[in-house]
Amino acid sequence: MEFEPIVSHIKDELGEVIISTDETSNPMSIEISAKDVLACFNFLHTNDQLYFDMLSCISGVDNGVEAGSMEVVYNLYSIPYDHHLMIKVKLDREKAEIPSVTGIWKTADWLERETYDMYGIQFTDHPDLRRILLTADWEGFPLRKDYEHQDKYRGITVAYDIPSDDDQTEDKDRR
Amino acid sequence: MANDIQYRYEPDNLLKSEPTKYNLEDLKSDELLINLGPQHPSTHGVLRLEILTDNEIIKDVIPHIGYLHRCFEKHAESLPYNQIIPFVDRMDYLAAMNSEHAYALGVEKMLGITEQIPKRVEYIRVLVAELNRLASHFVAIGTYAMDIGAFTPFFWMMRDREHIQRLLEWVSGARMLYNYIWIGGLFYDLPVGFEDRCADFLNYLKPKLKELETLVTDNKIFVDRTADVGVLPLDLAINYGITGPMLRGSGLKFDLRRVDGYSVYPELDFDIPIGEGKMGTKGDCWDRTYVRVMEIHESVKIMQQCLEKLTKEHKRTREFDPQVIVPKKIRPKAQDLYIRAENPKGELGFFFRADGKSDIPFRCKARSCCFVNLSVIAELARGGMIADLVATLGSIDIVLGEVDR
């Protein structure tokens, strides 16, 4: 199914859940709000004509402090119908919370844990929301645009000074 | 300075930084918590598994990952598009060409130059990517056989992989991490005489593949060890987002090279092998290995067609410059894009957000196939023995570099 029939199909069944559509993105995307996530995704997953049975990817995006928002981007794909859909959900940066879709796609379990790990976005009703790639006692969420790493982790310095290009040329002269 | 890098040891450091999900105090009688890894040969790298067993039967497996996390996505947010390619190599270091290919396709799509890429460049890309796919499957099959007790296949596979690595070293100058496929082109054309040597290699390989089948997939001990073990039903596989040979092993003819038809794959003739449950149940460990072995045959077929095209239709000429449309400045319009491609291990996806104002991606997310494929391990292992867990884990074919990124 093409993008427009998908959009109109969602509109027919669920009413005005779509905040905006973006046809410049690839695959084309719709934006919905966090409170409609479960109803909308349940519909997309179970509807006979849409049947998005595969959740390819969940990506978090931090729009920065000035914009004050974060986004969660879902990439859905339907194996039998071969159609794609990108869904964006905008969240408040201070209180980023979104319902978990683990109950619909099991893939979401680890992908949401990773998004939480990197952005600190809370996925409510997630069965096991722990950090996944970083250690449990790591401070801060690294992919936020205003992230500043801690100085020490268990006595190990986190960042070392990288010699700049000028230092290296001096070294060469000395040699 | 020496004081700076001292690791301050405290007895509960491990529990604080990577707590186990199950508490020892809460275990019932007969239950046992076993730690496997992170430094264990059968985990293929630095993967740590927390295993809850009831006597000898596994009740739950909790993977602890992240020991090889190198902040790919954070690095990508501070580097221009073309300088990210070496980092992409280091994600799945056994199939770097395939990852580069996927990444380059994505950025080219954002720039809108997909159509302008010369045919010769695309055929070379497919050729080297399929070579690398062979190398990756060789490691997968070789190490898998070693996991479950057969030593010989590993040496045989490594011997044949060595030829591929030397071929690719001749092409790019590196054995594993190539930085050969550039955005809009290639680092360099194929070296003179490469096509002949590659054809020679394929001729050398064909009888070896026959030997491989006798040695591994038809081997009675191997079949006994892998048939009916770690069965992954198709509906569960799709729900878990499993892709690649694992999904095909469960019986679905789904290959992105065909489904999406990216690059020059639509012009090439190849089959998509699937698991049929020949030795046991559909979707067991044997099926997954069988699919990999059959895919090697298909890749050989693809490479022969590429060589045919590269020596006849899209011949090397003196004027041909593979960098002719490599953009000097890579600045895509503001847009979001998700690109996916078939890696040896599954669907490698990249999500890009370009802001249109800089040469650096605003966000670059890698959807790694090994990461997603690994998440199903608990479902596969539950109810089996610990020895079968090792067999199951090997059949998933993970590379920790890509799991942790």
- What is the DSSP annotation of B232-259? --HHHHHHTT--THHHHHTT----HHHH
Q: Mutual orientation of helices B386-396 and B285-311 as an angle, nearest 10°?
A: 20
- Choice between B61 and B5, residue whose per-residue pLDDT is larger: B61
Domain of A58? 3-138
For residue A155, which amino acid is it?
A: G
Q: What is the mean pLDDT of residues B67-89?
A: 90
Condensed to tens digits (0 to 9), the pLDDT of residues B190-242 reads: 898 899 999 999 999 999 999 888 888 888 888 988 888 889 999 999 999 99
Inter-chain CB proximity B77 and A27 less than 8 Å:
no
Q: Is position A169 within any domain?
A: no
Chain B (25-54) residues lying within 8 Å, Cβ to Cβ, of chain A:
none
- Which chain A residue has the Cα nearest residue B66? A133
Check CB contact under 8 Å for B18 and A57: no
B352 touches chain A (CB under 8 A): no
Question: How high is the pLDDT of residue B100?
Answer: 92
Residue A160 lies in a domain: no
Number of domains composing chain A: 1
Mean pLDDT (whole number) for A149-168: 72
The answer, yes or no, to whether residue B405 has pLDDT greater than 70, is yes
Q: Which residue of chain B has the CA closest to A77?
A: B241
Gap between the Cα atoms of A36 and A99, Å rounded: 9
Which residues in chain B have their CB less than 8 angstroms from residue A143's CB? 73-74, 77
Residue recorded with tokens 């539950």 = B382
Question: According to the model, what pLDDT value does residue B351 have?
Answer: 93
Report chain A residues whose CB lies below 8 A from the CB of B333: 24
* Domain annotation covers residue A152: no
Q: CB distance from B65 to chain A under 8 Å?
A: yes
Structure-block tokens of residue B29: 């009688």
Per-residue pLDDT, B3: 55
Residue type at B51 in one-letter notation? I
Instruction: Report whether pLDDT(A166) > 90.
Output: no
Please tell me the distance from the alpha carbon of residue B146 to that of residue B225, in angstroms, as a whole number: 12
pLDDT, mean over chain B: 89
B6 touches chain A (CB under 8 A): yes
Query: Coil, strand, or helix at residue B223?
Result: helix
Are B229 and B284 in contact by the 8 Å Cβ rule? The answer is yes
- A-chain CB neighbours of B367 within 8 Å are 56-57, 59, 75
Nearest CA in chain A to B378: A106
Res. A168 pLDDT band, cuts 50 70 90: low
Is residue A161, in this structure, part of any structural domain at all? Answer: no
Contacts of B228 (CB under 8 A, 6+ apart): B280, B281, B284
- ipTM given for this complex: 0.87
Answer whether residue A150 is part of any domain.
Answer: no
**pLDDT value of position A154:** 80
Quick check: B4 pLDDT over 80? no
Judge: B252–A110 Cβ closer than 8 Å, yes or no.
no
Whether A171 maps to a domain, the answer reads no
* Banded pLDDT at B292 (limits 50, 70, 90): very high
The reported pTM is 0.90
CATH code assigned at A39: 3.30.460.80
In a domain, A73, yes or no: yes
Tell me the chain A residues in contact with residue B351 when contact means C-beta distances shorter than 8 Å.
57, 59, 73, 75
**CA-based nearest residue in chain A for residue B339:** A26
If you average pLDDT over residues A141-170, what whole number do you get? 75
Could you tell me the end-to-end alpha-carbon distance of chain B, in angstroms, rounded to an integer? Answer: 29
The answer to whether residue A87 is domain-embedded is yes
Give per-residue pLDDT as tens, A79-124.
Answer: 998 889 999 999 988 888 999 999 999 999 999 999 999 999 999 8
Q: Which residue has the tokens 């992989």?
A: B161
* pLDDT value at residue A153: 83
| In chain A, residues 19-78 whose CB comes closer than 8 Å to chain B | 22, 24-27, 29, 53-57, 59-62, 73, 75
Q: Which residues of B touch A28 (CB under 8 A)?
A: none
| pLDDT cut 70: percent of chain B above it | 99
Return the residue of A nearest to B110 by Cα. Answer: A26
Output the pLDDT for position A152.
Answer: 81
Tell me what percent of the residues of chain B surpass a pLDDT of 90.
38
Q: Do A105 and B6 count as a contact with CB atoms less than 8 A apart?
A: no
Per-residue DSSP letter, B214: I
The rounded distance, in Å, linking the Cα atoms of A133 and A155 is: 20
pLDDT 10s digits, B326-385: 888 888 888 899 999 999 999 999 999 998 888 899 999 999 999 999 999 989 988 888
Handedness of CA B400, B365, A68, A71 (dihedral sign): negative
CA distance B238 to chain A (A): 6
Share in percent of chain B as helix, strand, coil (round to 5): 50, 15, 35
Residue A63: closest CA among chain B residues belongs to which residue? B362
Please, what sign has the CA dihedral across residues B326, B327, B333, B334?
Answer: positive
Interface subset of A 130-169, CB within 8 angstroms of B: 130-137, 142-143, 154-157
Q: What are the DSSP calls for B23-55, one per residue?
A: -GGGPPTTEEEEEE-SEEGGGTEE-EEEEEEET
Average pLDDT over every residue of B102-116: 90
Q: How far apart are CA B341 and CA B263, in angstroms?
A: 10
Question: Is A174 a residue whose pLDDT tops 50?
Answer: no
Nearest by CB to residue A132, choosing from B66, B239, B353, is B66
Is B333–A24 a contact, with Cβ atoms under 8 angstroms apart?
yes
- What is the tens place of the pLDDT at every residue in A116-140? 999 999 998 899 888 899 988 888 8
With tokens 């060789």, the residue in question is B138
Tell me: pLDDT of B264 over 80. yes
- Residue A175 pLDDT: 43
Q: Is B277 helix (H, G, I), strand (E, B) or coil?
A: coil
SS (H, E, C) chain A: CCHHHHHHHHHHHHCCCEEEEECCCECCEEEECHHHHHHHHHHHHHCCCCCCCEEEEEEEEECCCCCCEEEEEEEEEECCCCEEEEEEEEEECCCCEEECCCCCCCCHHHHHHHHHHHHCCEEECCCCCCCCCCCCCCCCCCCCCCCCCCCEECCEECCCCCCCHHHHHHHHHHC
Q: Residue A165: is its pLDDT beyond 70?
A: no
pLDDT digits (tens, 9 = 90+) for B85-100: 999 999 989 999 999 9
Q: What is the pLDDT of residue A163?
A: 66
